[in-house]
């Protein structure tokens, strides 16, 4: 069977998972998907990892298009994803409606689970938020860093430790059993990231890749995108 290679930021994992079986059946292909921090996915692409479809932030896709790694005109927008706060299922839901309330909630947490602060979109932002709130040094021993948001949320769900907070992209929170979304970050500290799907310039299955991109961004997939946390 034809294999379609996908490199994607973790924000799109829930969406791809919802639609992949239908697509594979209709197009007689098998999707080989790798999800992770967008910076890591970019690095994998540049290192020569097989790729037909690329799903990254709009800014990264534009950079890769300019450098010749992405086919010009192939990019379609999937939507905007906000970064949010999560707790384990059954835990008390803290007030995070404004920066002061978020600061209180973070200080009260026994551990803060979030993605790579160097290569993950949400992780970079979380560190910036902690610095803005003056908490980066104070809470340093409570920061639990993982390669990507999905891994961070799974780890938080799996631990027996109570009183934890997670912070990553809302799509990754929704996708992970055992954790629940509290709310997006307060407006003054929010991160809203546009995600785009595009055709890799060295795609071995360009038509199937274009078909998958079209499906992910299509009006018929709008409800799936919304359920997964895209706006």
96 and 26 belong to one structural domain: no
Instruction: Give 177's DSSP letter.
Output: T
Please say whether the beta carbons of 13 and 61 come within 8 A: no
Please say whether the beta carbons of 38 and 119 come within 8 A: yes
166 and 221 belong to one structural domain: no
CA 62 distance to own-chain centroid: 18
54 and 101 belong to one structural domain: no
CATH at 61: 3.40.190.10
160 and 174 belong to one structural domain: yes
User: In 10 A of CB 40, how many CB atoms?
Assistant: 20
Is residue 75 classed as helix, strand or coil in its secondary structure?
A: coil
Helix or strand run (H / E) with residue 19: helix 13-27
What is the count of structural domains for the chain? Answer: 2
Chain position carrying tokens 């790579």: 116
**Range of 128's domain?**
81-189
pLDDT at residue 1, as a whole number: 82
pLDDT at residue 143, as a whole number: 98
Angle formed by the axes of helices 13-27 and 206-217, nearest 10°? 130
132 and 75 belong to one structural domain: no
pLDDT at residue 213, as a whole number: 98
pLDDT along the chain (231 residues), means of 10: 95 95 96 95 97 97 98 98 97 97 98 95 96 97 96 97 97 96 97 97 97 98 96 95
Distance in angstroms (rounded) separating the CA atoms of residues 39 and 59: 11
Distance in angstroms (rounded) separating the CA atoms of residues 15 and 11: 8
149 and 65 belong to one structural domain: no
89 and 180 belong to one structural domain: yes
63 and 135 belong to one structural domain: no
pTM exceeds 0.75: yes
22 and 118 belong to one structural domain: no
- The CA distances from residue 39 to 64, 99, 120, 140, in Å, are 12, 28, 6, 23
36 and 109 belong to one structural domain: no
pLDDT at residue 209, as a whole number: 98
69 and 15 belong to one structural domain: yes
58 and 111 belong to one structural domain: no
């Amino acid at each position: 069977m034809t294999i379609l290679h996908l490199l994607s930021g973790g924000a799109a994992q829930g969406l791809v998972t919802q639609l992949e079986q239908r697509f594979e059946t209709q197009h007689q292909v098998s999707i080989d998907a790798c999800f992770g921090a967008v910076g890591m996915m970019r690095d994998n692409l540049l290192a020569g990892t097989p790729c037909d479809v690329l799903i990254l932030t709009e800014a990264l896709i534009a950079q890769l298009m300019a450098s010749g790694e992405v086919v010009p005109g192939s990019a379609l927008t999937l939507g905007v994803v906000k970064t949010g706060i999560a707790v384990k299922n059954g835990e008390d839901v803290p007030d995070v409606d404004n920066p002061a309330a978020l600061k209180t909630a973070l200080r009260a947490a026994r551990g803060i689970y979030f993605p790579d602060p160097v290569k993950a979109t949400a992780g970079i932002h979380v560190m910036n938020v902690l610095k803005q709130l003056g908490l980066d040094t104070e809470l340093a021993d409570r920061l639990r860093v993982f390669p990507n948001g999905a891994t961070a949320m799974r780890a938080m769900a799996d631990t027996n430790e109570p009183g934890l907070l997670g912070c990553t992209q809302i799509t990754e929170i929704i996708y992970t059993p055992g954790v629940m979304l509290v709310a997006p970050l307060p407006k003054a500290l929010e991160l809203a990231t546009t995600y785009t799907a595009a055709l890799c310039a060295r795609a071995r299955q360009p038509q199937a890749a274009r078909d998958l991109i079209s499906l992910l961004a299509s009006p018929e997939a709008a409800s799936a995108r919304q359920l997964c946390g895209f706006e």
